[in-house]
Amino acid sequence: MMRINRVLNNNAVVIKAGDTEKIILGPGIAFQKGKNDIISESKVEKVFILKEGNKKFEELLKNVPEAHILLGEEIISYAEEKLGVDLNHHIHISLTDHLSFAIERTEKGIVVKNKLTNEIRLLYDDEFQIGLWAIYRVKEKMGIELSIDEAAHIAVHIHTAKMQSTNVEETINKTVIVLDMVDIISSYLEIEIDKKSLSYQRLITHLEFAINRFYSDEPFHQLDEEMMIMIKRKHDKAFLCAHHAAQFVQAEYDMNFPDSEVAYIALHIQRLIEDKK
Amino acid sequence: MFKKLFGKEDKNTGETWVSPLSGKVISIEKVPDPMFAEKMLGDGIAIDPLDGNVVSPVEGEIIQVFPTKHAVGIKSKGGVEILIHVGLETVELKGEHFERHVQAGDHVQAGDLLITFDYQEVKKKVKSVISPVIITDSTHVRNLKTEKEIQAVSGKTEVVSYDVD
């Protein structure tokens, strides 16, 4: 049995279960209800355990218009279903907060440009499609038309949560580095890379994980010395290209990839080369 | 036209591998190392071995034996490059418990002994003894067929076949 400890808004309440506090979300769950009233379990859509970080969520639920919260939750559910993954819980704060700001800004006629919109669309196509869907839902529900740049912002939030990260800034930084590397690789090979190809998708995923490993000090791929020599010998062009890209990120971003990582990137580059044959 | 057609058919030769190790043949995608599982180095099979005898899967020439003796490259008679990598992260053993029986340039028949290793010791010391056997240059390989989930006997059980053009 769930008894209301405090009402956050019509669709969100806090309950206590022993020592832990939980936020319960559900449409109309607290409608005409107050402290100590019992909520109908059939209306419960989501349950969050209130930890330190979730205090922020509670604040958000109290201060952000309900319509924005519901939209945020709807977008998150849609994204989880479409991507088939559980997103990092922080997205319930970051996306909803962002969305609410974006709606308010747009209502006031303020447009914030996103310089990376095209790149985000290319790098995170699935997330971008969800962003577009979100814009459509906002228009349908609120009559407000968000710009296409907002779809890209939403995509970055979703991508960040998909990578189980909470740092949207870092995602944007990584995006820039990955794009720089792709540019270097493409011009070195003198080929037009098919951005829809599986080989390309796998390359950028790998690059992103490699950058993650650098940031988080996680160990890189281990590789036999001999295997590396073999890769070098068999795929010399791809290897030189990967080496070239690695030198660039070292010079530009002071980011050092070990040889084994370079060899792994070379294998991905080799696939791009083979695609072109 | 017929000449061309027949000519092409003449050139097409099939090649079959016998299992280089005795043990269970598993799909390369199931190897617990992304480099192999994602086929980054090439397609093939993996074997979860029961002993430490590694034999040649084909007739061909030894291209290289890794200095740490845990891997060997063979160029088959049909010109296909094959890599047998014994275990995962076995490089860390630095050749200990491994013995080589061939060197680069040697001509081998299918079933010839290439490497032996102390199965019990190696199994104890490395992440996994699962051994990928892959085609590292698939340019001329067509219709690759691989066995999986069967028990293979080294030098006997046929585990891979393909056409070479």
Q: Where are the domains of chain A?
A: 4-50, 66-166, 175-276
Report the residue of chain A nearest B84, measured CA to CA.
Answer: A227
Specify the pLDDT at position A11. Answer: 82
Specify the pLDDT at position A201. Answer: 87
In Å, how far is B34's CA from the nearest CA of chain A?
9
Specify the pLDDT at position B9. Answer: 44
Amino acid at A253: Y
The confidence band for A6, taking pLDDT boundaries of 50, 70 and 90, is confident
What kind of architecture, by CATH, is found in domain A175-276? Orthogonal Bundle (1.10)
Q: Which residues of chain B have pLDDT under 50?
A: 1-10
Contact B71 A226 (CB under 8 A): yes
Contact A224 B91 (CB under 8 A): yes
Beta-carbon contacts below 8 Å between A and B: 34
Determine contact, residues B133/B57, Cβ cutoff 8 Å.
yes
Task: Show residues of chain B in contact with A268, CB under 8 Å.
Answer: 40
pLDDT exceeds cutoff 70 at A140: yes
Identify the structural domains of chain B with CATH numbers, from first to last. Answer: 12-164 (2.70.70.10)
Q: Is the Cβ of A223 closer than 8 Å to some Cβ of chain B?
A: yes
Percentage, residues of chain A above pLDDT 90: 44
Q: Is the Cβ of A268 closer than 8 Å to some Cβ of chain B?
A: yes
Residues β-bridged to residue B75: B61, B81
Separation between Cα atoms, residue A181 and residue B88, nearest integer Å: 30
Q: Is the Cβ of B68 closer than 8 Å to some Cβ of chain A?
A: yes
- What mean pLDDT is reported for chain A? 88
Q: What is the pTM of this model?
A: 0.73
Classified by CATH at the fold level, domain A4-50 comes out as Transcription Regulation, Sacy; Chain A (2.30.24)
Contact A226 B136 (CB under 8 A): no
Q: Which of residues 104-133 of B touch A (CB under 8 A)?
A: none
The confidence band for A53, taking pLDDT boundaries of 50, 70 and 90, is low
* Range with the poorest average pLDDT among A139-153, A217-231, A253-267: A217-231
Check if A4-50 and A66-166 are the same fold.
Answer: no
Q: Mean pLDDT throughout A228-249?
A: 92
Contact B83 A230 (CB under 8 A): yes
Condensed to tens digits (0 to 9), the pLDDT of residues A194-205 reads 888 889 988 998
Regarding predicted confidence, which is higher, B131 or A73?
B131
Specify the pLDDT at position A67. Answer: 87
Specify the pLDDT at position A57. Answer: 79
Task: Give the C-alpha distances (Å, rounded to integers) separating A36 from A3, A18, A31.
Answer: 5, 15, 14
Specify the pLDDT at position A180. Answer: 92
Specify the pLDDT at position A1. Answer: 77
- What's the CATH number for A66-166? 1.10.1790.10
Specify the pLDDT at position B89. Answer: 84
What is this model's ipTM?
A: 0.72
